[in-house]
Each structure stands twice: as C-alpha cells, then as structure tokens.
Amino acid sequence: MALFDRNQRQRSSLFSTATVVVFAALCLVGFWMVTPPSPEAVPAATVTASTADVKKAAEAVVKEKEEDRSIDATNNFKQDSANVVAEATTAAVEAEKPTVDAKGGEADGEKPASKNQSFDDENGRTEGGELVKPETAETDGTAAAAAAVAASQGTSVEDTVTDVKEQASTDTKETVGSGGQDANTEKTPADTKESIVSQEENPKEAAGGGSSKKQTFDDENGKMEGVDVVKDDGNNTFISEDNAKPIMEETTTAATDKTEDAAAAVVSTEASAVANPDDTKTSDVVEEEQKLLPEALPNGQAELLMERAAQNGSFTTQTAESTNEQKTRAEKKKNKKKKKAASKAEAEAEPEAAVSLPTHVWKLCNTSTGEDYIPCLDNEAAIKKLKTDIHYEHRERHCPSHPPTCLVPAPPSYKDPIRWPVSRSKIWYHNVPHTQLAEFKKRQNWVKVSGEYLTFPGGGTQFKTGGALHYIDLIQQAFPEVAWGRRSRVVLDVGCGVASFGGFMFERGVLTMSFAPKDEHEAQVQFALERGIPAISAVMGTKRLQFPSNVFDIVHCARCRVPWHINGGLLLLEVNRLVRPGGFFVWSATPVYQKLPEDVEIWGDMVKLTKAMCWEMVAKTRDTIDRVGLVVFRKPMSNHCYETRRQTEPPLCNPSDDPNAAWNISLRACMHRVPTDPSVRGSRWPQPWPERAEKVPYWLNSSQVGVYGKAAPEDFAADYAHWKKVVQNSYLAGMGIDWKSVRNVMDMRAVYGGLAAALRDMNVWVMNTVNIDSPDTLPVIYERGMFGIYHDWCESFSTYPRSYDLLHADHLFSKLKARCKVLPVLVEVDRILRPNGKLIVRDDKETVDEIVEGVRSMHWEVRMTVSKRKEAMLCARKTMWRPTEIEPGPPTR
C-alpha cells in the first residue's frame, strides 16, 4: 500500500509537471500569435513544418505581411536581393523572435527592428529601421527555424539547417548585368554581407543619409528606392557607387501567387556600351533591372508615371485656329482647289517608304550646308521654285515633303560647350567655326576671334562702346515705366545679331526671345545659342510669326534692318499683333537721331504710321556715349482712338480674322481691336514678375474645362504642383544629371509651362513648344512670364544643329503617331541636341521601347528606363558617334 501510494504520488507529480509545461507552451503560442509582425516585405520563400499549428502560423504571418506591404511598399523599394536571402531563411520563425532568442530561451518580448528604411523626400519624412545583418539572419534565424522544424518533424537539427539553406539559396539567384559575370551566378554570402549595412555599423545611412551608391528616385507620381543611376561628372559618365563597380541587374521575386500575378514596375539604369572607338565615356555596359512589387500608392500620390488624361477642354488648337483662318481667306481665291489637288497628286506620286527604327541604316546627310543643316530652311529645291525673294521668301520655312532620316555631321573638333555664364563672353571656335561675321562686324564689337575662342565683348551696332547693359539701362532711364524685371518680363528682339542684348537682359530679370534670319549675318543665331542665349532662326517676311497675339511686353529693334514703314506698315502691324495692349515698341535706328535725307524721310513716315496706328510716342532720347538715339512707342489699351481717328489706313481687321492664328498664315495689313471685356485675355496687364509665374491667369475661370479635365484654375494649379514635385524629387536628384552643364532646355510638349516654371530658379532657360494640334495654351505660358512657340513636330524646328542641352518630351511621340512616324522625329531630336545632351521621354511603354531601340541604334547611352503598367520614362544621352557613310543624294524633294 505504501508502495502504491508512493507510485501514485510520483505519477501525480509527473502529471502536474506535464500540465504546467503544456499550459506554459499554450501561453507562449498564444502570445506569439497576437504579437504584431514587423512591417517587412513578403519573404521570398517560407519554410513549412508538418504540424498544423506551424502551417497555420506561417500562413497568418504571410497574410499580415502582404497587407502591411501593400500600404508601405511604394515608399520601401527593395534594393538588394540580399534582404530577400535573409528573409527567406527566417520566414517561418520570424514571429517567434519576440519570445525565443537564438539559444532557445525566453526573450524580453521586444519587437524586432524593421529591416526596411523608408524615405519620403516629397513629404520631408524619414523613417528608419535597422537593416538585418546577414550573419544574424542566417545564423541565428536559420538555427531557430531548423530547431522548430526538427521538433515538429522528428528530424535532426543539422539536416534541417542544410535543407533550409539550400531552399533559400535556390530562391535567391541573381542575374548579373555586366562585368563579365555569368548571368546565372548565385549571390555568395560575401556578396550578401557587403550589400546589407546595419544601423549599428552606419547609423547615418540607416537614418536616411545613405551612401552615394544607394539613391532614391522619387517621381511626383510614385517613389522608388535603391535606384543606382549613372551620374555626370561634368559630362563624364560614372556609376553612382564610389568605386564605380558595375551595377548588378537584380530581380526581386515573391513566393505568393498574388505577387506573381501582379504587374511589376521595372527600373532599369543603363550605361550602354557604344560601338565607337573615339567615345571613351561609354566603354562599359552597365545595366540594372529591378521590379517594383505592385502596391497601393501612399497618401494622395498619383500613379507612377501615369499620364493625366489630356483633352482640349475649353481650349481650341492652333491647327483649328489657323485652318479656320485659312479657309476664310481661301474663299476669295479661285485656284485654291487646283493647288490642293496638285499637292495631293504629288504626295500620292511620292509615297514615303516605311522605315523601322531597329533596321534603319544610318547615314550622314548629303547637303550643301553640312554641319549647319536646317531642313526647313535649307530646302534648296523648294527655294529654287520661288518666283521672288523680295520679301525674304527664301528665308521662310520650306519643309521637305518627307522629313530627312539622315544624321547631321558634327564639326571635327567639337568640344563640350563652355558653361554659362562664362559662355556669354566666349565660346569654342571649333564648335561654330565661322569667322566672316567677326571680320564684317569687328568695329561694332559683336564677335572677335581669339585663339581657340570666339569672344563677345558685349557690344552691338547701337551699343558698341558702352555695351549692352548700358544700353538696356538707357531705355529704362528714358521711360521708367518699362520697369525691367517687374512690369516688363518677356521681350521679343527683332534682328538680334549675336543676341548680346538678350544675353545681358538676364541681368535685369528679363527673358528675351531673339530671332534673325539664317545666313543674313553668318551663323549669328548659332553664335547666340552656343553662348546660352535664347534664339531662333526666323524672318519678318510674308507670314505671321509663330506666336500668339498680345503676349510680348516689349518688342525691341536695334538697327534690325526691317523696313517698318513700307507696304502700308505691314511688318509693323505684325508687331502690333504681338505686343500686349499697353506694351512698348523700342526702336533704335539711324532715322531716330540722324539727319541724312533718307533718315529724315523714314522718320517722317514712321511718325505718320504710328500715329495712324494709335501708338503713343512716350519717350525719345539720345545717348552721349555711343551717340545713338532711341524712341519708345506704346500700344493703346482701349479702342477709343480706333473709333475716333480720321484715318482709315491701316484699316481695322475684319472681326472674323483670328489674331491668334499663326501657323502658316500670311500677313495682312490691318489692326485687331483691343480686348475690352475684363474677362478676356489682353484686357489687363499681367501680375508683376515673379508673382505672375505662379498666379492663375485672370482670364481662366472655373466655368472653363482645363486640359486635364478639371476646372481651368484647378487644372493650372495641379499641373504646376505636379511638375514642381517631379523636378525636385526626380529630375534634379534622381537621374544623375549634372545640371551645371545644362543651359538650353526645350519642353517639346509644354501645356501650361509647368516644367519651365518649376525650373525658373535654375540657371537655365526653357523653350516651350505647343504643338499645333494640342490645346492652345501658349498664351498661358506667356502670361506666366515665360515664352514659347507653336510648332509641328512632324517638321523640323527652326534652329541650328547642336542647339540644346536637354530635351523633354512628355507624351509627345505617341500623340504624333497618328500623323507622322517616330523615326524622323527622333532624327530631329538628334539634330538639335548637343553631343552629351540629355533626352527625357515620358510616354506609353510601347512608344518608349521604340525610342530606346532608336537611340541605341544611334549609339546613344540609355541612362535610365522606368516603367509601370503601360507607362514608362526614359533618360538617354547623345554621344559623339556619327556614321561614316554619306547618303547618295540630298534628302529634300
């Protein structure tokens, strides 16, 4: 009995102990299940146990982590797949860490530090979490995972550790993009160890400081971390890593079906090898492709790269305006139909051969103008057919029926341009190797040859001694209401020469559109552009200039050789169309101050003409230094003078004549009435600069529909906010562009001028082009204190080759496909972009892929491609490569 009692007591003790152990185990499991997981990305692989409890717990962890990631992943882009290696080996036991340490004992219940870092440049927020070190994740985590699995399956811990590591290694293979490594090489533990930095070792990086290798690419529409971009050192290319190691091409994969089926965004930074022995800057092929896991975007950010739905809204187009005007005038011409039929027959007789980008064989253009070729101004076949050139018809645009698909050669000794503002005073002679103008204008201080440089003393025909700044200040002294840089912001300089006037206007906060005809003075506009001064090749001949009406604050002419007084004042009436009501015409020429018979006669004619046009002479002065004079006229701000004047010449335009129609519209000797309705554009003077850059134009009201579908004022504000974020978070910081080397910028599809406004504090100027079939928003751009021009990108632009440092095309190419092919447009981009210049394209992915093939075939360096869903972005750099073969005949027909 005693023995029985003793055994009974021992058995009861054992049962009690077992009960306590089971209860404690259940408590630990319950505590483990309610402990929230760290906000990590979904593990690439999970280790499963045979027991139902382990499976159920693992599924719960995966599900919770997916939900967390769907909220955060836009701002937590994984850079190194080494993180995935660590997660793959610790996934099944990650939740046990708060309660069990590496030795199997109870921990303090602290939550594990997050492996991810979150940076939000746009919102000024930085969230930091410790990055798990490889040895911690693989040693401690693998051991704990193996122990749990071994206990549930009845296997040894050593065998289970081996299985876990093999499974993790299989799931984390990498593709190597360059450096001679095999495409299927596995990432070694050493590589993994190098790619992950703990917060303890480098707290600065963990807090968001980051190294030069790991950058954040934050576009306005969505954020990506860990993008290695090819950066500029001047115009020399190197990888963003300090030691310039080849960037690895990494692909992050997820194990869940949901992740595998979702659309991924691809970020690819490339420094493409260029098959050009002379171009040593792009000798290495550097590629990176990373997939951004699909997720919801955070807190009000628009979708990544998604185009905002564009429409015409309440805006008409330049095509519609000009076409309507042409039709109205055509009713008076009997031979209109005959000309149309002849043109159609010619087009049908010479069908354009379809040329695909990848198979196109590049050749140099065979033209008499060589490296200065401008297709629409050098169409010799069309110029020969002109009946007269008395009104400078031969200097107007005559585009070939089929745009050229050849490449323009570069000067043999071309160098990267000298940077602004030094370039205003000197440029490389070999970039614009012309000396005729220096000889012809040597007494007027236009330009001089000085060794390997062309220098510009700042003089001009009317300010050869005092210089441009003295002359600019003389105008304001003569009439202080001009108020440079406040009231007067946008100026048109007619017959600009080498554009020293416009170049020094920057000192007074004024933006000047300078123009002159090609070849009247050898390469004058090319000199201006090489100096970093805005200019185009154009002429006041028989057509309207490609600007809207009532947009320029001042029109200026200093000995511009324009016969204003003849043909009923036809050309001065074009100035009247362009200048704002209340704006000024500044004229400095010999008739103003000389007493030669011809000058006296011209002055008398100008006085009569301006009085008949109701212009007021508000100032006339004489300079004692350069001994020249100038006069300032002001355009009326009301129609009172028009209605009470005795003269009938020049006449008022018919109300049906649209003053904004400017694309291929012939000049007409008449005056348009001044807008008087307070809600109509032109009835008020814009806000002073710089306030006008951000102010919604007074004539945009909420009853009008904007380009993107909102009420016009909201549309305007949203567009500006969009481009400010894109410029700040993406273009200035995320693309590796050396902006010190950027001066001349063109927005090839400007809408409201948001990009130019966002860049206005940079040392750049932006030529905004509004396509003729796009909403006519160019007046909005001028109202903001910036400038631009109408253009049809199915034709060449009126500028010299190698004019621009950066071209920006936002959904341009895809919209052109309905009217013309991508190839000729891309050829035009190559023509006007400088060697080492950058092209940024935002468009649908199919179009961007086509452009990538095209620029690569021209041996450009593809620096970055970003895509998500069906939208994509490209940044590419033009190289010095040119083909050696010359095409057999001239491209014009």
Q: Which of 33-47, 188-202, 459-473 has the highest mean pLDDT?
A: 459-473
Same domain, 721 and 806: yes
Same domain, 711 and 818: yes
Phi, psi of 554 (to 5 degrees): -145, 140
Return the pLDDT at 102. 37
pLDDT tens-digit series, residues 589-619 = 999 999 999 999 999 999 999 999 999 999 9
With left for phi above 0 and alpha for psi between -120 and 50, is residue 488 left, alpha or beta?
beta
Same domain, 627 and 719: no
For the four alpha carbons of 316, 317, 321 and 326, in that order, the dihedral sign comes to: negative
Distance CA(253)–CA(756), nearest Å, equals: 40
- Expressed as residue numbers, the domain containing 611 is 461-531+549-644
In a domain, 283, yes or no: no
Average pLDDT over residues 46-75: 42
The SS3 of residue 582 is strand
Distance CA(851)–CA(826), nearest Å, equals: 8
The SS3 of residue 864 is strand
In a domain, 400, yes or no: no
Please say which residue of 614, 644, 674 terminates a domain.
Answer: 644
Same domain, 510 and 580: yes
Is residue 239 within 8 A of residue 286, CB to CB? The reply is yes
Same domain, 498 and 619: yes
pLDDT at 496 exceeding the cut of 80: yes
Residues in the chain: 893
Same domain, 619 and 722: no
Return the pLDDT at 208. 38
Is residue 414 within 8 A of residue 430, CB to CB? The reply is yes
Mean pLDDT lowest among 442-446, 607-611, 713-717, 743-747: 442-446
Query: When comparing pLDDT for 556 and 262, which is higher?
Result: 556
The pTM (predicted TM-score) of the whole model is 0.71
In a domain, 146, yes or no: no
Q: Which of 31-35, 90-94, 246-250, 636-640 has the highest mean pLDDT?
A: 636-640
pLDDT at 536 exceeding the cut of 90: yes
Q: Indicate the average pLDDT of the chain.
A: 75
**Dihedral of the alpha carbons of 39, 41, 46, 52, in degrees to the nearest 10:** 40
Same domain, 591 and 723: no
By DSSP bridging, strand 125-127 and strand 118-120 are antiparallel
In a domain, 233, yes or no: no
Return the pLDDT at 53. 52
Is residue 80 within 8 A of residue 250, CB to CB? The reply is yes
Return the pLDDT at 344. 57
Return the pLDDT at 329. 66
Mean pLDDT lowest among 257-261, 268-272, 864-868: 257-261
Angle between helices 81-90 and 141-153 (to 10 degrees): 30
CA-closest candidate to residue 264, choices 293, 307, 288, 289: 293
Same domain, 567 and 707: no
In a domain, 173, yes or no: no
Longest Cα–Cα distance of the chain, Å, equals 149
For the four alpha carbons of 196, 198, 202 and 206, in that order, the dihedral sign comes to: positive
Same domain, 625 and 729: no
CA-closest candidate to residue 606, choices 579, 575, 566: 566
Distance CA(532)–CA(208), nearest Å, equals: 37
Please say which residue of 622, 644, 666 terminates a domain.
Answer: 644
Contacting residues for 799 by C-beta, under 8 A, at least 6 apart: 374, 525, 529, 536, 537, 832
DSSP run (H or E) holding 287: strand 286-292
In a domain, 834, yes or no: yes
Return the pLDDT at 183. 36
Same domain, 634 and 706: no
Please say which residue of 580, 615, 644 terminates a domain.
Answer: 644
Find residue 465's DSSP bridge partners.
Answer: none
Same domain, 504 and 614: yes
Task: Give the count of beta carbons closer than 10 Å to the beta carbon of residue 634.
Answer: 20
* Domain tally, the chain: 2
Is residue 212 within 8 A of residue 241, CB to CB? The reply is yes
pLDDT tens-digit series, residues 760-809 = 999 999 999 999 999 999 999 999 999 999 999 999 999 999 999 999 99
Same domain, 609 and 752: no
In a domain, 574, yes or no: yes
By DSSP bridging, strand 490-494 and strand 511-516 are parallel
Return the pLDDT at 330. 66
Is residue 110 within 8 A of residue 98, CB to CB? The reply is yes
CATH code of the domain containing 762: 3.40.50.150
- What Rg value do the Cα atoms of the chain yield, rounded? 35
pLDDT-derived band at 241, boundaries 50, 70, 90: very low
In a domain, 238, yes or no: no
